[in-house]
Amino acid sequence: MLIRVKRRSDPKPSELTPKSVYEDRRRFLRTAAVAGASAAFPGLLVSGAARAGRKLPRVRHNPDYSTDETWTDYDDITSYNNFLELGTGKEDPKENAHRLKTRPWSVAVEGECERPGVYDLEDFVKPHRLEERVYRLRCVEAWSMVIPWVGFELRTVLKAARPTSKAKYVAFESVYDPKNLPGQRRRILDWPYKEGLRMDEAMHPLTILAVGLYGEVLPNQNGAPLRVVVPWKYGFKSAKSIVRIRLVEKQPPTTWNTLAPDEYGFYSNVNPEVDHPRWSQKKERRIGEFFKRRTLPFNGYADEVAHLYAGMDLRKYY
Ligand SMILES: Nc1nc2c(c(=O)[nH]1)N[C@H]1C(S)=C(S)[C@@H](COP(=O)(O)O)O[C@H]1N2
Ligand SMILES: [Mo]
């Protein structure tokens, strides 16, 4: 059963959504009501530990691109993180979240395009209708979560930039701020964090830029104020806290591929048939669950994205 993303022809979410999801929603609404009392600053997208829990306005749930699986607990999503800029332990990013300064924040769109630009975060996000999309996230470390993201499709940004015919790949760059980010004072990798996608992957409607989760402003530890989410690839392809989107002609160098090319390929599609050199990728532990579950090809999004790789040897291009 690979079809986990719903189609337009499918029943409405109210007919399908398991009870647990509604219970999660109710719990979320209770939490939000408490948090709402401290929402003194109405500016869009104000992030940071002190203002966590601010609800994002005008978010439309998109059932066509959402899995029906039970949402991972908010506390797990925000306290079990990989974000090396904020430390190497799973709980470090939450503890150090306040060290990430998300104001002011600008995003550069540049490279092989007719309309490059540098945008203040607000201006960058404002033209987009925010959607909630419930995606699975599968980490290369063989754990997974189900996360209700809030964001918009990356392709709208790319199209607006008018890519030239030379634009074959998209490179992403995360924040570089060693004064504030404790992880960047250590040379554990060649900062800033870099990732990349092939143009057709970046233009795929499943690929989004997220600004929130659980209906709220993205917590810093999850990559505030703006991060990429590519649900059919291992989690590390989804770069957090991005400041630069560059259209390029050649396959760009990426952090993990540069650091350990034998362990992390450029594509990094979730593939249970290709083991990591040091462990199996056949199963995963859904955070919050006890028994492991089988990992699905393309993280369950094969129907949507497998065609992008037709004719490619995915053992070679892992
Ligand atoms: N800038 C940056 N982005 C990053 C990482 C990182 O260390 N730095 N870790 C990646 C990894 S390995 C995973 S699994 C996901 C985790 O996202 P989450 O904490 O929101 O679940 O973020 C990815 N994006
Ligand atoms: Mo990961």
Q: Where are the domains of the chain?
A: 13-309
State the fold for domain 13-309: Sulfite Oxidase; Chain A, domain 2 (3.90.420)
Closest residue by Cα to atom 19, ligand 1, is 81
Ligand nearest to the CA of residue 237, numbered in listed order:
1
Closest residue by Cα to atom 24, ligand 1, is 239
Decide: helix, strand or coil at residue 157.
helix
Per-residue pLDDT of the chain (318 residues; tens, 9 = 90+): 333 444 434 333 333 333 344 344 444 443 443 333 333 333 444 444 444 579 999 999 999 999 999 999 999 999 999 999 999 999 999 999 999 999 999 999 999 999 999 999 999 999 999 999 999 999 999 999 999 999 999 999 999 999 999 999 999 999 999 999 999 999 999 999 999 999 999 999 999 999 999 999 999 999 999 999 999 999 999 999 999 999 999 999 999 999 999 999 999 999 999 999 999 999 999 999 999 999 999 999 999 999 999 999 999 999
Q: Which residues surround ligand 2, an ion (CB under 5 A)?
A: 82, 139-140, 235-236
State the distance from the centre of ligand 2 to the C-alpha of 144, rounded, in angstroms.
Answer: 9
Query: What number does the ligand 1 atom closest to the CA of 81 have?
Result: 19
Cα 54 to the center of its chain, rounded Å: 19
Distance between CA atoms of residues 317 and 295, nearest Å: 19
Closest CA to 74 of 53, 90, 88: 53
Residue recorded with tokens 């990591």: 276
State the distance from the centre of ligand 1 to the C-alpha of 90, rounded, in angstroms.
Answer: 11
| Residue ranges around ligand 1 (CB below 6 Å) | 81-85, 137, 139, 174, 193, 222-223, 235-236, 238-241
Closest residue by Cα to atom 2, ligand 1, is 240
Distance between CA atoms of residues 217 and 202, nearest Å: 23
What pTM was estimated for this model as a whole? 0.86
The CA-to-CA distance between both ends of the chain, in Å, stands at 23
Query: What number does the ligand 1 atom closest to the CA of 175 have?
Result: 1
Contact assessment for residue 67 and residue 5, using Cβ atoms and an 8 Å cutoff: yes
Closest residue by Cα to atom 16, ligand 1, is 82
